[in-house]
Chain A
Amino acid sequence: MNMLTTKRALPLLIASALLLISCAPKAEKTADSGEKTVSLAVFVPGVLAGSPTYEMMDEGVRKAAAEKGAEVRTVEGGFNQAEWKPQVLALAAEKKYDLIITSNPSMPEICRDIKKIYPDQEFLVLEGSRIDNDTVATFLFSHLDLSYMLGYFAGLVTSSTELDGSNSDLKVGLIAGQEYPEMMQKIKPGFEQGVKAAAPGGSVDFRVIGNWYDAAKASDLAMGMFDEGVDVILTIAGGANQGVVSAAKDKGRYVLWYDTDGYDIEPGVILGSGIIREDIAAYEQTHLYLEGKLEQGSSVYAGAAEGYVDFIEESELYRTHVPAAIREALTLEADRLRNGSLKLD
């Protein structure tokens, strides 16, 4: 009986399989009749929702593509790092996308490996990391400039007598999701340098969570740091940032936000916020590519002077919660970076 049904089902199965194959997307026959439209893929190493930096990148690419009539497909890679390479490899294997745009310091190493297999595939990595004789185009933001400004601000906050949450200890905190080269070579040194410039004798308590999502652990770490006399923490820990914010709220202390406008997240607790203009970089670089001017292997390094990283001072919440003396002192120092008279290295 069972066997009979299998026999009957077989033609049906074959028929449906054939139907599926016929559903295959048609090859672009229009390509001959006119100019081929450029096709771009945006690979998000994570998910778009709740990741403002990736949203900014996607926005920037789409803006440039709309102006130039290119197609964009955005692909979310999810949080499992191990999956990213197979996914980007599959994008390249399809040979459908002229340029794959992505953002994250870990992506260049993945893209370089794929470039060895598909040498014709072009890549643009924002927020990348550079090596000599690179094969992919990267765009690097000056984390040194940004962390210096935030460090300077943290120094002003911890030595302030006007702020309720600021104590006499000159201790500030830095919480990171993981130890990665950019963090250890740029962000941490820049932050420390900034703190010491504003508060000589100040010190930075640096802690690592070990992942980018554990808000509970982040909160525990932050609580401990606040108890030891830290009054302001710069948090760079993705989804775990929320834990630092809630700890600061409980303890009446302060948090600094790193790369997107964070003032709205918890007014009065998020005292200062930096920004990385990933949207502008994505727009400009994609535009360059569409004009045929983006070279593989090229690398742009841009900081406060070029306007790609900054400390956000134009927020109403910033003006309400931060005493005028601190704001003025910060403007003075930040302007030196913005006009290029202060160069960090």
Chain B
Amino acid sequence: MKKFRIPAALPVLALCLGVSALIIFLFSSAPGETLYYFFPAVLSNRLYTGEMLNTMVLLSLTGLGIVLSFRAGSFNLGGEGQVYTGAICAVLAARLLPDLPGALGIPVLLAAGVLGGALLAFISGILKALWNVDDLISTFLLSSGVSKVIDYLISGPLSDPDSYLMTTVPLPEKYRLASLMIPSPFNISFILPLLLLPLFHWFLNHTRQGYELQITGSSSSFARHSGLNTGIYQTLPLTVSGALHGLAGALVLTGTYFAGIQGLTSGLGWNGIAVALIAGNKVPGLLPAALFFAWITQGSRIAVLHSDLSLELGAIIQGVLFLLISSAVLRIKIRRGR
């Protein structure tokens, strides 16, 4: 019998659920009702379920990006900016090419997003390969800087003069991904993780390049002395990670918001890190991990709307979970690694 090993994240997840329940019991005057909205209510109607599934799709893509770079020994802390860049590149593509038919236009928009995210991460990757610039710092700083520029573009040159929101002009109907669960934004993009996750899993574990990538990730000096071209493995995985984030950004635009509205990333980049950690930095764990995180995010959102859980408390619960996951998972990893 194949040995079944409990993922390191499982006790952490139980702890997470316990802590959120505790917070709710402490601060809610009707904890039963709040708990209901936090957990099972997510499945109570199409809107909530669809939004949750949509978030899950996006998180599994950004999570995959994090796993990939992590396996190669890079830290991509710039996910937020790469998602944002992906979205704005898709907005620009839609502006420049308004006359494509939808079936062609949507892939072009997505490709623009992929390119944008990839380019941003490539800069950090090449800096690391050439001058050993710390990718943890460079991805984060680049992303923060670029986000400000995009904020400016959205509120300035690209802004929709007819809207009171800080947003670009809405995409034409033909460039939108149709909902499969009206009125939620859940759409055909769910195919993407189903294709990409197995593909990357296969690449990492069954190809020579995947193996070399992981060697570089475990010890770059060992890899260098073994004659591997470490420069490639310091640049490309990070670039692809950025590409996946950019893809998520373009998907948020074409499938969820239909306009480049300020703040549309809503933590996709950061939460991607949490998802990757819950998944134990392994591709097969990504879908369940993304499901867990999407559920919690959606649950806290619904609870804030319909119970006496305040907006701040909802955010606090999410923050506490993020902290728990990132610290606890890392700790378990270290202990097992000894």
- Chain A residues near B (Cβ < 8 Å): 2-3, 6, 9, 17, 20-21, 23-25, 47, 75-78, 80-83, 86-87, 89-91, 93-94, 104-106, 109-110, 117-118, 129, 178-182, 210-211
Contacts and interface: CB of A to CB of B under 8 A. Distances in A.
A113 to B, nearest CB: 10
A37 to B, nearest CB: 17
A106 B32 CA distance: 35
B257 A82 contact: yes
Interface in B13-63: 14, 32-33, 35-36, 39-41, 44-45, 47-48, 51
Nearest to B10: A6
B257 to A, nearest CB: 6
**Interface residues of B toward A: which range?**
35 or more
Interface stretch (B132-140, B151-159, B199-207): B151-159
B261 interface: yes
B4 interface: yes
Nearest to B307: A25
A78 B316 CA distance: 13
Contacts of B45: 93
Contacts of A82: 257, 261-264, 266
Interface stretch (B91-99, B228-236, B298-306, B326-334): B298-306
A181 B262 contact: no
Contacts of B39: 17, 20
B36 A81 contact: no
Nearest to B36: A23
Given A3-B6, A83-B263, A24 B40 contact: yes
Most chain-A CB neighbours within 10 Å: which of B151, B163, B167, B266?
A: B163
Given A78-B311, A80-B266, A106 B5 contact: no
Nearest to A3: B4
Contacts of B310: 76
Given A3-B6, A78-B311, A82-B257, 16 more contacts: A9-B14, A20-B35, A20-B36, A23-B32, A75-B304, A82-B262, A87-B301, A87-B305, A90-B47, A90-B305, A94-B306, A104-B164, A106-B164, A181-B161, A211-B151, A211-B155
Contacts of B14: 9
B198 interface: no
B262 A179 contact: no
Instruction: Give the top 6 A-B pairs by smallest Cβ distance, nearest first.
Output: A106-B164, A23-B32, A2-B6, A80-B263, A105-B164, A82-B263
Given A3-B6, A94-B306, A23 B35 contact: yes
Nearest to A114: B183
A75 B4 CA distance: 45
A83 B318 CA distance: 16
A83 B256 CA distance: 11
A109 B165 contact: yes
A21 B41 CA distance: 8
Contacts of A104: 164
B4 to A, nearest CB: 5
A75 B41 CA distance: 18
B25 to A, nearest CB: 12
A273 B233 CA distance: 62
A129 B159 CA distance: 18
B305 A6 contact: no
Contacts of B6: 2-3, 6
Nearest to B264: A82
